[in-house]
Amino acid sequence: MAAPTVSVARSTGRAPTALGGVGRVVEHHWRWYRRNWRATAVSSILQPLLFLLAFGVGFGALVGSGPQAAAATGGTPYLVWLAPALLAMSAAQSAAFDSTYPILSGFKWQRIYLAMSAGPITGAQVGLGVLTWTGVKMFGSGAVYVVVIAIFGGVQGPGIVVSLLAALLTGLAVASLITAFAATVENEGNAFSALFRFVVIPMTLFSGTFFPVDRLPEWVQPVVWVSPLWHGTEVARGAALGTWRLLPTLGHLAVLVGLLVVGSVLVARLFTRRLAR
């Protein structure tokens, strides 16, 4: 695999604007990605497709359309009920993977971020640029996934487009927090393993993706409510199925936007601090 190159501002006698610096970082990642996209195809496209086939088509055939299944999904076919949630889950998982080892690599192994900050790009612009690229990549993967969902009959109406945007917001909220955490990690050790084992995997399994949260024990449900994936799943599913309600949806969106804002501020500060050493 070719070593990535760093795109910096051309010599114009002045540093790029804040937006321009973020754009330079995004440009660098795009230049690398368009040559090496096959290396990420499994995690960004094939993995969600396998989830759709395994749970939506395979497990969905076992769920059937009995009274208990109808009560859980509101009478909606399981594949249609599951598809928007898998879209949000895919974004959250991609965000988690892209915001751990690749971030540490940029600081420690490849030291790409140090090269960027040695030019006219600030540490905050590097961090926000990385986060922006993560969002661009998630949106592209999500758009492909929507097409796949439609092919398998999991799309009920145009609301799936709003589900894609909800999934993007969910992924960005997760990515901002984990990217901020990764910026504090000096040695991978058990930090990322613990993150996936005790946060990402439970969040994936118990955020209402595969079955309604009200089927969980009552003492577990308040824990689920703090999961950004649960909020994203509720918005994505409500949009896709046309079952959303104004006030709950606004509440879910407020939580996701709040997490994204907090995470973005932390990313800017922590990247600046680490790259100033």
User: Please, what sign has the CA dihedral across residues 13, 18, 20, 22?
Assistant: positive
**Calpha distance 172→254 (Å, rounded):** 14
Query: What is the enclosing helix (H) or strand (E) of 107?
Result: none
Instruction: Output the six-digit token pair for 256.
Output: 């996701």
Amino acid making up residue 220: V
3-state secondary structure 82-96: HHHHHHHHHHHHHHH
Q: Are 211 and 230 in contact (CB under 8 A)?
A: no
63 falls in which pLDDT band (50, 70, 90)? low
Mean pLDDT of 111-132: 95
Question: Residue 27's pLDDT is what?
Answer: 95
Dihedral sign, Cα of residue 207, residue 49, residue 188, residue 270: negative
Report percent pLDDT > 90 for the chain. 58
pLDDT of residue 152: 83
111 falls in which pLDDT band (50, 70, 90)? very high
Q: Per-residue pLDDT tens for 80-102?
A: 898 899 999 999 999 999 999 99
Quick one: tokens of 184? 């504090």
pLDDT digits (tens, 9 = 90+) for 212-250: 888 888 888 888 999 999 999 999 999 999 999 999 999
- Count the neighbouring beta carbons within 10 Å of the beta carbon of residue 142: 24
